[in-house]
Chains A and B, each alone.
Chain A
Amino acid sequence: MLLLLQVLANGALLGGLYALMALGLALVWGVLNIVNLAHGAFIMLGAYVCYYLFTLAHMDPFAALPVAMLLLFCLGYALQRGVLNLIIRAPMFNTLLITFGFEVVITFLAQIVFSADFRAINPDYAGANVTLTGVTVPLVRLAAFAVALGLTAALSLLLNRTRVGRAIRACAQDLVAARLHGVEPRHIYALTFGLGAALAGAAGGLYGIVSQINPYIGGALTAKSFAICIIGGLENPFGVVVGGLFLGIVESLTSVYVGATYADVASFGILVLVLIVRPTGLLGRTT
């Protein structure tokens, strides 16, 4: 019983981080209809930014998150404004190819610049934990979870309550109408892509605190984020959170009660099931 509670806690904490990883991908996918295959590479870059701020500038890794977000935002904005906007009307296959290209280039450059060494963001408090009724809760994971939920809430507020957010949603819903109301899509698209990259940057920093970093972590993280987007649906940020939590808990349960080697089978199996049964995601509207 205690094991079950512990596993559920692990799964939920893992799920929060998963959700934040997927959030940026879902935003870009939902608004721009671009499945950004370089998303995991952005996460990797965010992790390195935090790593170097922590090791070289001795910044607290959580304090480094906003810096990583800002840098990744600029990168995302520039990539969308300078490259992706040129082919935004092309078939989806073209954007897939070009983001795949970004992935390859970013990863390769990362290996040259950062080397293939394995890194970890390891502040003194990285292993701190509290025990509540027999369940051990790692504090860093809990903090990462809180940051993930906070950023999701912030994104939701931004999309629903601000002028920029309305413009972003308008572009997704009806581009012609949005333009008629004075929205500048080139800017809004770049802003959205930048936001997606910034969220990836934050996720990367947190990932580096709980796991390890190397230039090649991106591919697997893109795949996981993709699965979460499908499971959670693209319609609202909280769907992604549900998708992330669901996946985290299912993976943890599978790992303990079925076998650790089946964790990925479970997550991608669920992806297929969701596509068959609820193609709009767990929280998506059924049409």
Chain B
Amino acid sequence: MKHTLVLLAGAFLLSGSAAASPAITLGASVQMTGPLANTGRYYRDGYEFAVKRINAAGGVKVGGQRYELQLKMLDNQSDVNLSVRQYTQLLTQDKVNFLLGPFASDFALADSSVAEKYDVPMIQGGGASDQIFTRGYRYIFGTLPVASKYFASTVDAMTRLEPRPGTAALLYADDAFDVAVADGTRALLVRSGFKITHDERYSSNASDFTAVVSQLKATPPDVVLVAGHETEVLNFIRAAKSLDFSPKLYAFTVGVPTADFRHALGHDANDAFGMTSWVPSAALKDPYFANAAAFATEYRKQMGYDPDYHVASAIADVEAFARAIETAGSLDPKKVRDAIAKVSFDSLYGHIQFNEVGQINLPQTVVQVQNDAVVPIYGQTGFLGKPVYPMPAWGHRM
């Protein structure tokens, strides 16, 4: 009896040490609390989901040795200064191997400087501002489409609508990302022959849009394009309804594809156009999940909500690291950085291949809320669905 116990204990110890295979730690500071937690949590969930799956599939193989992926995530409380300190801490004290990104452009903009300073690669799927990638940095990679082209597919679709809209209003928040979107969109609109009737910048987190909507209503444009945050989009739509303003089409950079948005607005979410860099289709194959559609079902079952492009982008970031580390056959940050620059693989998020500045080339798919569901409307290949256009006036909706 005594011997069996000793044996059992020994076996237990052995198995314990065998399970503790060497680990590669990915560090990230994300918004788990604070005003950006609404979206920040998607990155937290996405990273965790991807790491769990990759480990279950055997982890990452480096030079014949299997490594387990580990996550070291800190909560930056939606404070950009804190996130910079946390990334520094992740590298200097916690000695993480590589970095995953935060949510939002202004965070990625500041935090990527830490990665660059310590020569440790960061792959981030939360910041799209062109500014992040035009500073000559070598260690920052991004998996969101370029901010300046966010509205490219929408403007493209607009040129093919019947009757073709002629005038457009551009509204945007005054942060790094939205200013970049507006700069790009302005050029796109002019190039496609639209007359810009309003070009208005508002403060981030503005809660009252009645003044802006009244201004739009005084000289109504055919189309209203809004680059802002989800809270502002909600406020804009509510103000538009209360002042009975309905252009032929309005489109928003963020919010529309999320379940949260439709839940908050109910039927008032209908007819809003938005965009997503990701549609969970079975055509998107993935090395760890069968395909994007299967992933979305599995994710929903485990996490209790539908994944959107933020989640998919976060997952692609982790997969890109796994892929690059295996190709580099080393944990040396410089070698892995060079391997990331050369990765080229199909993921559930799309084809991952970074250009010379570190961004991927991914078109936005135009979506519209129809009968309380998000419907893909326009993609690279043309129309995917029938748009509700022109939008019915508020009094004439179902």
Contacts and interface: CB of A to CB of B under 8 A. Distances in A.
A261 B243 contact: no
B37 A111 contact: yes
Interface stretch (B6-14, B124-132, B210-218): B210-218
A260 B212 contact: yes
Given A129-B243, A210-B242, A116 B211 contact: no
B242 A260 contact: no
Contacts of A210: 238, 242
B263 interface: yes
B183 interface: no
B214 A214 contact: no
A212 B263 contact: no
Given A129-B244, A212-B234, A263-B203, A122 B208 contact: no
B214 A3 contact: yes
Contacts of B238: 120, 122, 126-127, 210-212
Given A212-B235, A214-B38, A260-B202, A117 B260 contact: yes
A252 B231 contact: no
A259 B212 CA distance: 9
A256 B198 CA distance: 11
B171 to A, nearest CB: 8
A220 B204 CA distance: 12
Q: For B203, B210, B260, B265, which residue has the most chain A Cβ atoms within 10 angstroms?
A: B210
B344 interface: no
Nearest to B215: A256
B35 A214 contact: yes
Interface residues of B, number: 41
A260 B261 CA distance: 24
A255 interface: yes
B205 A251 contact: no
A136 B243 contact: yes
Nearest to A138: B242
B248 interface: no
A122 B265 CA distance: 7
Contacts of B206: 260, 263
Contacts of A117: 38, 260, 263-264
B33 A111 contact: yes
A238 B261 CA distance: 38
Contacts of A120: 234, 238, 264-265
B265 A256 contact: no
B394 interface: yes
A252 B211 contact: yes
Given A122-B268, A260-B212, A136 B33 contact: no
B311 to A, nearest CB: 15
Nearest to A261: B201
Interface in A236-287: 251-253, 255-256, 259-261, 263-264
A10 interface: yes
Contact of B34 (A14, A129, A216): A216
Given A216-B35, A252-B210, A140 B231 contact: no
B264 A127 contact: no
B203 A260 contact: yes
Interface in B187-246: 200-203, 205-208, 210-212, 214-215, 217-218, 230-231, 234-235, 238, 241-244
Contacts of A7: 211, 214-215
B354 to A, nearest CB: 31
B214 A127 contact: no
Nearest to B259: A117
A131 B242 CA distance: 11
Contacts of A14: 208, 210
Interface string A135-172: 01010110000000000000000000000000000000
Interface in A94-150: 108, 111, 116-120, 122, 126-127, 129, 131, 136, 138, 140-141
Contacts of B235: 211-212
Given A11-B211, A108-B33, A211-B207, 13 more contacts: A7-B214, A116-B37, A122-B264, A126-B242, A127-B244, A214-B231, A220-B207, A252-B211, A253-B211, A255-B202, A256-B212, A263-B206, A263-B211
5 contacts: A3-B215, A122-B266, A129-B244, A255-B212, A261-B203
Per CB-CB distance, the 5 closest pairs between chain A and chain B, nearest first, are A127-B241, A138-B242, A260-B202, A255-B211, A10-B210
Interface of B: 33-35, 37-38, 41, 78, 171, 174, 200-203, 205-208, 210-212, 214-215, 217-218, 230-231, 234-235, 238, 241-244, 260-261, 263-266, 268, 394
Interface of A: 2-3, 6-7, 10-11, 13-14, 108, 111, 116-120, 122, 126-127, 129, 131, 136, 138, 140-141, 210-212, 214, 216-217, 220, 251-253, 255-256, 259-261, 263-264
